[in-house]
Amino acid sequence: MSYGLIQFVPLAIVAVMFALFMFSGLRNRSKQTSEYGFSGSYTGRVGIGAGIASNWMSAASFLGLAGVFYMKGYFAMAYVVGWTGGYVLLLVLMATQIRRFGKFSAPDFVGFRYESDTARTLAALISIVISVIYCVAQFRGIALLVSWLFGIAYIPAVVIGTSLLVSQVVVSGALGVTRNQKLQYFVLIITFILPLMLLTRKLGYFWILPQFGYGAAIGELQQQFGFNCSEPFAGTSLFEWFALCFTLMFGTAGLPHVLSRFYMVPGIRDARWGVVWGLFFIALIYWSAPAYGVLARLLEARSGVPLYAGGADAADMIILTAAGLGGIPTWAIGLLAAGGISAAFSTAAGLLMNGSASFSFDIYPHLIRPNASERDKTYAAKGFFLVLAAIVMVLTLQPWGMIAEIAALAFAVAGNTIFPAFLLGIWWPRANAAGVICGMLAGLVISFAALLIGDSLPLVAQLFPFTSSAFIGAPLVMIVIIVISLLTAPPSAAIRLFISRNVHDCAEE
């Protein structure tokens, strides 16, 4: 990739894409509230699925996954399986039941189910922590793309990227622009797959289904360059693979912004079928992402570029590198850049707004200003949005890891805290506030244990790797919740009755 030059054509495509989303959002703003709101007409199950997929597709899916395949080969399959398998857990264990609770956010659910303001506040704080970590991954993607588009260094790109994101949210808010998620999904999938088809065609592989066509490149890499990217557990262990995979699955079923999709669909049946469509749309990206990593590796090998020459930054930009080395037209590279920046912008904006909403509705009126009016809460949300953006920007200046790895930490936190709280909250009426508070605190400690004491206690780092701690962590947290709940008073009869009757439809036999 050439740095130091402004990429005029890709920049123009990025600008056109954002203009398209703004125009579409303005045109549809009156319809949107009913589509994803609680009443009125909606776009159907395919539309709900596109909304789920669009909400899900972030820089981690668009840029990060191909980068991990490029760096780690088969090991990256843990991301594919983790990020798709989690939807099965979510659908069968939680989606339907969450709707039956009738609550509209993760802190709302925790506060209602466990009848505790402390548990609700803790869940809100954890939601903010998850949003911040997930946003750092998005901001890293934005900064790398801005750096490439404008030909500037990473640190100024972080600042410019943050300014652009905040400006977009402010302008969209001022104009009343809403996200047309269905359009956004279909634009994103085209910007991801069309350049891949062009690339595989240019290389002479089966380009109609590049998801299969890149298999020939794996053989070529092995035979001509001695590089085996399909070797299952080279340089890693079965435990590491399972730990990462299950952490991502538990995290998927516990991420507040993923769970929130189920509070906002008109009917349970539509919500369930929306998950199927959403999973199919997400799988389309994950069937394709490995191809970019493998083709980039092949093109670099053909050009004589040494392995891992560019480090994590280069790996996170590997889809653009593959497109550039493959010699596909500049407009197609621009499409990829536009898709990546759009995915990162929409996810980051959504997470920052979720985080600020958690602060203004769950923390500010309970801990800071008990008599806050609706107007005060709105100002608090706007102010906290800017504070969160600044915190994320400062954190992004530090090179924590690859985009997918940073995102995996957010999944680990969700898997260690929100997932056990929801799972036991739904399926074990005896779980109480004391149990869930201790459990969520234990989950936070487990999530950051490797970062805090991993150097002095290597066993902790091995058992709870920072990207994969929920594999052992989530069951441990459940044990904590169960033990503490059994040692303390049971929840009220009213909530147990509610769970029996309304959630599980259990009546006198």
Residues that bind another protein (CB under 8 A): 38, 74, 77, 80-81, 84-85, 87-89, 91-93, 96, 99-102, 206, 211-216, 218-219, 222, 228, 230-233, 238, 241-242, 245, 266-269, 272-273, 275-276, 279-280, 283, 286-287, 290, 427-430, 493-494, 496-502, 504-509
Buried b (16+ CB within 10 A) or exposed e, 176-213: ebbbbbbbbbebbbebbbbbbbbbbbebebebeebbeb
User: Cβ 427 to another protein, closest distance in Å?
Assistant: 4
- Cα–Cα distances (Å) from 440 to 128, 194, 412, 444, in that order, read 14, 43, 12, 6
Q: How far is the CB of 35 from another protein (least distance, A)?
A: 16
Smaller CB separation from another protein, 232 or 458? 232
Closer to another protein by CB, 80 or 123: give it.
80
CA 208 to centroid of chain Cα atoms: 29
Smaller CB separation from another protein, 378 or 502:
502
In whole angstroms, how close is the CB of 109 to another protein at the nearest point?
12
Tokens of 126: 């954890």
Nearer to another protein, 91 or 188 (CB): 91
Residue 118 or 230: the one with the smaller Cβ distance to another protein is 230
Nearest-approach distance from CB 429 to another protein, in angstroms: 6
Tokens matching residue 336: 């990829």
Closer residue to another protein (CB): 385 or 422: 422
CA proximity to 280, closest of 60, 48, 21 = 48
Residue 453 burial (10 A CB sphere; 0-12, 13-18, 19+): middle
Query: Residue 224 class from Cβ within 10 Å (0-12 exposed, 13-18 middle, 19+ buried)?
Result: exposed
- Which residues, other chains included, contact 88 with Cβ-Cβ below 8 Å and sequence gap of 6+? none
Which lies closer to another protein via its Cβ, residue 459 or residue 493? 493
| Separation between Cα atoms, residue 185 and residue 419, nearest integer Å | 27
Q: How far apart are CA 184 and CA 178, in angstroms?
A: 11
Q: How far is the CB of 273 from another protein (least distance, A)?
A: 6
101 or 385: whose CB is closer to another protein? Answer: 101
Q: Are 85 and 279 in contact (CB under 8 A)?
A: no
CB of 426 to another protein, least distance (A): 9
Q: Do 316 and 63 form a contact (C-beta atoms < 8 A)?
A: yes
239/400 with CB nearer another protein: 239
Judged by beta carbon, residue 294 or residue 407, the one nearer another protein is 294
User: Judged by CB, which is closer to another protein: 158, or 322?
Assistant: 322
Q: How far is the CB of 357 from another protein (least distance, A)?
A: 19
Rounded Cα gap, residues 17 and 338, in angstroms: 7
82 vs 326, which CB is nearer to another protein? Answer: 82
Nearest approach, Cβ of 446 to another protein (angstroms)?
22
CA 249 – CA 412 distance, rounded (Å): 9
Sign of the torsion formed by the C-alpha atoms of 278, 281, 287 and 290: negative
Rounded Cα–Cα distance for residues 435 and 432 (Å): 5
CB atoms within 10 A of CB 219: 10
In the complex, least distance from residue 482 CB atom to another protein, rounded to whole angstroms: 10
CB of 496 to another protein, least distance (A): 5
Sequence-distant (6+) residues with CB within 8 A of 468 are: 240, 243, 244, 247, 408, 412
The CA dihedral of 53, 68, 255, 242, to the nearest 10 degrees, is 120
Q: Under a CB-based contact definition with an 8 Å cutoff, are residues 58 and 407 in contact?
A: yes
Cα separation, 22 vs 244, whole angstroms: 37
Nearest Cα residue to 203 out of 327, 69, 330, 337: 327
Distance in Å, CB of 455 to another protein, minimum: 30
CB of 266 to another protein, least distance (A): 7
